[in-house]
Chains A and B, each alone.
Chain A
Amino acid sequence: MTDLLAIGTRKGLWLARSDDGRRTWTLGEPHLLAQEVAAVSIDTRGPAPRVLAGIQYGHWGPTVMRSDDLGASWQETEAGAIRFPGDTGAALARVWQLRPDSADRPGVVWAGCEPHSLWRSTDGGATFDLVRGLWDHPHRPTWEPGGGGGAVHTVLPDPASDRVTIAMSTGGVYVSEDRGTSWTPRNSGISAVFLPEPPPEYGQCVHKVAVDAAGPDRMYAQNHFGVFRTDDAGKAWTSIAEGLPADFGFPVVASPATPGTAWVVPLVADMQRVPPEGRLRVHRTRDAGETWTELGTGLPDRFWAAVMRDGSCADEGDPTGLYVGTRDGCVYASADEGETFTLVADHLPDVLVVRAARIGS
C-alpha cells in the first residue's frame, strides 16, 4: 500500500509517496516543470491510477495532461481535452478543478474552468463536454472574476444522486439536482462584504466548499470573509466562524470518514492575507463548526505566506490524513487528523493544489 500525494505548483508538479503508513514521505523529481499546475486529481477507479493535471503553459495556453504511470509519461489529447464549442466564442483560460466522480460512474470526471464553466468527461479526462445548463444560465454574465480569475473551482458530485454542487469565485454556490441540466443558486446566509447589503441571491465569493462525512446535505464553506455550514444542501447557510481567530481564508477540508470533522486555515483578512500572528495554523472542528481547536505541532511560526483554495486536502486513510501546501513552497502532512505535521517538501514553487490517494494493494 502506498500513499501518494500530488503537489501542483506554479512551476510544475511533484509526486510524493509514503510506503510506511504516512510516517515518512519521499519527494520525487518534478513533472511538467515550469508549467503552472492549478488543478490535479488522482483517479484510482481504473486498473492503474491516473493522474490528471490542468496546466497553464504561460505563453502557450492551458491544457490537460494525463499520466497512467505516475508521471513516467504524459499524454495530451491532440485537439485539446477541453475546447469551448465554436458557438460560445469563448476560449479556455485555466483549468481550476479536476474531480473524478464516484466508483460506480467509471470514466466520469468533472472539470471546473475559467471562464466560469463546468465540464464533464466520460472517458477518464481525455475529452470533456461543456455543461450547457450552467453555461447558458442567465446569471452567468454577472459572475465576475475574483482575484485569481473567474473560476468554477469546486465541483462536488453526489455519489448517491443526480445532485452536483459547484462553487465559483465569484458567483457563489449553485446546485443542480439533474446532473447539470438546471442550476439554482444556494447562497442564502452567505455574506458578500464587497457588495451593498443585503447579501444577494448569488454573486458571493465562496472560496471553497467541502461535504461532511455525515452526508451530502451537510457542507462547509470558506467564504471571502465568513465560514458557514449548511445542513440542507445549501438552502440555508449559518455562520460557524465563532471561535476562529479570523474568518477569512481559502480552503476548507472535511474528513471523508468522520462526521463533523473539518479544517480551515485562517488568514487575517482580504487586505492582509497572512495567518494571524505570523503562525501557520490549522483549525479543526469535531462538531461541525460549533467549536474549533487550533493545531500547529510541526507547522511553522514566523510564517507570512498563505494557503490557496486547493492547497489543503484530506485522504481516505484511518485516521484521516491532512495535507497543507503553502505559497512559500512547503508541504506539510499529518497522519493524525492534524494533531501533528511533518514536512514533506520545501523550497518548491508556490503550491496551488495538493491531492492525496492510496494506491496499490
Chain B
Amino acid sequence: MSVEVVLPGVLADLAGGTRHLEVEPGGGTLGDLLDTLAAVHPALARRIRDEAGALRRFVNVYVDGDDVRYAGGLAAPVPEGAVVQVLPSVAGG
C-alpha cells in the first residue's frame, strides 16, 4: 500500500499536473518518502526540502493531520496508507 501525498495547487505543475500523488513509503519515515519523491519529481522535492535535506522554513508537512515538526521532523513515521499533506505556512507580504 502506498502513501498519498497531497500538494497545494501551486505545486501541481511540478507533479505532472496533479495535486495527489501515490508514493511508495520507502523506509517508513518522512525523509525516506521525500527521497522517493525526489527520484521521480526532483523539482517538486526541492520546493519542500533544500539540498541539505532540511524542510524549508515556510513549508508545513502533516502526516495524517499531525505537523511533522512536532513528530520527529524528517524522522516522523509515515505508515503505509498515510496521507501526507504539504501546505505553505503563513508568511510573506
B-binding residues in A (CB < 8 A)? 57-61, 63, 76, 78-80, 83-84, 86, 89-92
**Bound Cα distance from A130 to B54, whole angstroms:** 20
Given A58-B91, A59-B91, A60-B47: A79 touches B54 (CB 8 Å cut-off): no
The distance from the CB of A69 to the nearest CB of chain B, in whole angstroms, is 19
Contact indicator B92/A58 (Cβ below 8 Å): yes
Most buried by B among A57, A76, A86: A57
In the complex, 29 of the A-B residue pairs with CB atoms within 8 angstroms, ordered by the A residue number, are A58-B58, A58-B91, A59-B47, A59-B58, A59-B59, A59-B88, A59-B89, A59-B91, A59-B92, A60-B11, A60-B47, A60-B48, A60-B56, A60-B59, A60-B88, A61-B46, A61-B50, A76-B43, A78-B43, A79-B42, A80-B42, A80-B43, A80-B51, A83-B51, A84-B52, A90-B52, A91-B51, A91-B52, A92-B50
A/B pair count, beta carbons within 8 Å: 48
Given A58-B92, A91-B51: A78 touches B42 (CB 8 Å cut-off): yes
Enumerate chain B residues within 8 angstroms of A91, measured Cβ to Cβ: 50-52, 54
8 Å CB interface, B41-69 against A? 42-43, 46-48, 50-52, 54, 56, 58-59
Q: How large is the interface on B (under 10, 10 to 19, 20 to 34, 35 or more residues)?
A: 10 to 19
Enumerate chain A residues within 8 angstroms of B89, measured Cβ to Cβ: 59
Enumerate chain A residues within 8 angstroms of B52, measured Cβ to Cβ: 84, 86, 89-91
Enumerate chain A residues within 8 angstroms of B10, measured Cβ to Cβ: 60
Enumerate chain A residues within 8 angstroms of B46, measured Cβ to Cβ: 61, 63, 79-80
The distance from the CB of A88 to the nearest CB of chain B, in whole angstroms, is 8
Instruction: Name the residue of chain A whose CB is nearest to the CB of B60.
Output: A59
Q: Which of B51, B56, B58 contacts A84, CB < 8 Å?
A: B51
The distance from the CB of A87 to the nearest CB of chain B, in whole angstroms, is 11
**Bound Cα distance from A86 to B89, whole angstroms:** 27
Enumerate chain B residues within 8 angstroms of A63, measured Cβ to Cβ: 43, 46
Instruction: Name the residue of chain A whose CB is nearest to the CB of B48.
Output: A60
Enumerate chain A residues within 8 angstroms of B88, measured Cβ to Cβ: 59-60
**Bound Cα distance from A60 to B43, whole angstroms:** 10
Enumerate chain B residues within 8 angstroms of A80, measured Cβ to Cβ: 42-43, 46, 51
Enumerate chain B residues within 8 angstroms of A90, measured Cβ to Cβ: 52
**Bound Cα distance from A174 to B56, whole angstroms:** 31
Ranked nearest first, the 8 interchain pairs of A and B with the lowest CB-CB distance are A91-B50, A60-B47, A59-B88, A91-B52, A59-B58, A83-B51, A78-B42, A79-B42
